[in-house]
């Protein structure tokens, strides 16, 4: 059996990120989150989000009962760079792939749900603004109250903040 691992939210301006693990043949899933605070200083400087991604996957491996011989197809994204390395060192069969289909759709849906829980808006509102420019416009409409949702660790935030 193959387990796919994908993320959503990594490149979005607001919110943390979600990680979805899905056993393709059975549809079993495990969802974890990298909290927003890890995309803000001081944690961002130390790349705590990479450790968090690795931890989420290791916990998912335990929860799903994944054996070392079971292939792990992990998204090509940077957020998984440390996780891929750690898993290979632990003897897991890791393959870096572009994730599409049901696993990707679940990751996207789960990220939107995480933004709703965070207080960014309802499902419709979040879906409608789901782009960098859409989120940036939303934040700028009420910077005082909405900057708390922004991944402020990115160097580019200071430039966009003053826009």
Residues 23-54 pLDDT 10s: 999 999 999 999 999 999 999 999 999 999 99
CATH number at residue 62: 3.30.420.10
Range of the domain at 25: 3-158
- Residue 134 resides in a domain: yes
- Residue 106 resides in a domain: yes
Alpha carbon 2 to its chain's center:
20
Q: Residue range 61-79: average pLDDT?
A: 96
- Which tokens sit at 6? 């994908």
The CA-to-CA distance between both ends of the chain, in Å, stands at: 49
Question: What pLDDT shows up at residue 74?
Answer: 98
Pure H helices in the chain = 48-64, 81-89, 102-118, 123-129, 132-141, 143-146, 156-161
Question: What pLDDT shows up at residue 152?
Answer: 96
Q: Residue range 93-109: average pLDDT?
A: 97
- Residue 9 resides in a domain: yes
- Give the count of beta carbons closer than 10 Å to the beta carbon of residue 110: 20
Angstrom CA distances, 141 to 8, 33, 61, 71, 89, stand at 24, 27, 41, 46, 47
- Residue 163 resides in a domain: no
Alpha carbon 155 to its chain's center:
19
pLDDT over 90 at 159, yes or no? no
Q: How much is the pTM?
A: 0.94
pLDDT in tens, 102-153: 999 999 999 999 999 999 999 999 999 999 999 999 999 999 999 999 999 9
| Residue 62 and residue 32 in contact, taking contact as beta carbons nearer than 8 Å | no
- Residue 87 resides in a domain: yes
Question: What pLDDT shows up at residue 158?
Answer: 86
- Residue 62 resides in a domain: yes
- Residue 31 resides in a domain: yes
Q: In the chain, how many domains are there? A: 1
Q: What proportion of the chain, given as a percentage, has pLDDT over 70?
A: 100
């Amino acid at each position: 059996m193959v387990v796919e691992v994908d993320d959503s939210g990594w490149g979005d301006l607001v919110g943390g990120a979600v990680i979805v693990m899905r056993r393709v043949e059975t549809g079993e899933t495990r969802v974890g989150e990298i909290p927003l605070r890890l995309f803000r200083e001081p944690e961002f400087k130390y790349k705590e989000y990479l450790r968090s991604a690795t931890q989420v996957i290791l916990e998912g491996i335990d929860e799903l009962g994944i054996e070392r011989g079971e292939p792990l197809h992990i998204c090509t994204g940077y957020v998984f760079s440390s996780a891929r390395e750690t898993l290979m060192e632990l003897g897991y069969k890791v393959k870096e792939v572009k994730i599409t289909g049901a696993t990707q759709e679940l990751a996207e849906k789960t990220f939107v749900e995480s933004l709703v829980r965070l207080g960014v808006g309802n499902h419709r509102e979040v879906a409608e603004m789901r782009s960098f420019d859409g989120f940036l416009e939303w934040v700028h409409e009420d910077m005082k109250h909405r900057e708390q949702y922004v991944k402020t660790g990115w160097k580019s935030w200071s430039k966009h903040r003053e826009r």
